[in-house]
Amino acid sequence: MTYCVAMRLNAGLVFLSDSRTNAGVDQISTFRKMTVFENPGDRLLVLMSAGNLAITQAVRQIVCERTGPNDRSVWSAKTMFEAVRVLGEAVREVHDRDAAALQHSGIEFNCSFLFGGQIRGETTRLFQVYAAGNFIEATPENPYFQIGEAKYGKPIIDRVLTPHTPLDEASKCALISMDSTLRSNISCGLPLDLLVYEDSALCVTKFVQIDHENQYMRMIRNTWGTRLKQVFQEIPDPTWRSAPAAPDTPLLETDPTFPVRAPLPASLQTSMRGAAQVQLVADGGSAGTSAPR
């Protein structure tokens, strides 16, 4: 598995991918998931992939090989929309060729892609491409996409990211999101590829490959874990309705509520009535007195 996240901001784009792939706990490998298509001054496109490695590599190879004068190519596309259609067509080509054989072997046609960048003459754009070759585009209301093991790193992005977020702050958010994923899921792992694209640059300006020795990533891991524990400890424990508390204390329980209870079996009801009668005798009451219900 893998985890990739891409963000479209007013100031540019942020791309981050891990490099782990696995076919079981004893078959762990490193394959970089980010590919850059760069023609300085004309276009900068970034492709990231998740899913079945054989499928994603086949799609990537087709996109890279489409360079002829008569080919529909990411290198000659006039717009990002035209470029992402080239990627979608490559996905469908691999599906038409391999899906039936994969299904016969019990293997799902599983792949997804993040594809974004800028072509001279238009603004930055970001797309998520699905296994059917169709795609959606990032918007101001939804300025980021994730593929792969997305659930662990999603909460921090949802709380922090907006289109107005500066690129460096967004990069920090992406790295914290990745750290949360690495912490909770062994199917994602270092090294990481981080590319930060500044709007209208039309070339790679900021890129780093992050390994176990990276100083900033080690700081993120240590600081984020410590601060989370600090914030957790600063939040008051739950206060129940029956507990003594100051007037301004937020209560966990304000009105009595009750769980959904399964009906008590008849045999247990009889046993409980008998036990109640014995208790009444022990308390000096009459054995014939009806037990309270």
Half-sphere exposure of 250 (CA within 13 A, CB side): 4
pLDDT in tens, 1-38: 799 999 999 999 999 999 987 655 666 788 999 999 99
Tell me: domain 3-229, CATH 3.20.20.80, correct?
no
pLDDT of residue 274: 66
pLDDT per residue as tens digits for the range 82-98 = 999 999 999 999 999 99
Q: Where are the domains of the chain?
A: 3-229
Q: Tens of pLDDT along 99-115?
A: 999 999 999 999 999 99
Going through the chain in order, the beta strands assigned E by DSSP cover 3-9, 12-17, 20-22, 28-30, 34-39, 43-51, 111-119, 125-129, 135-137, 144-148, 192-198, 206-210
Q: What is the pTM of this model?
A: 0.87
Strand partners, 126: 116
Give residue 73's pLDDT band: very low, low, confident or very high (50, 70, 90). Answer: very high
Check: CB of residue 10 under 8 Å from CB of residue 164: yes
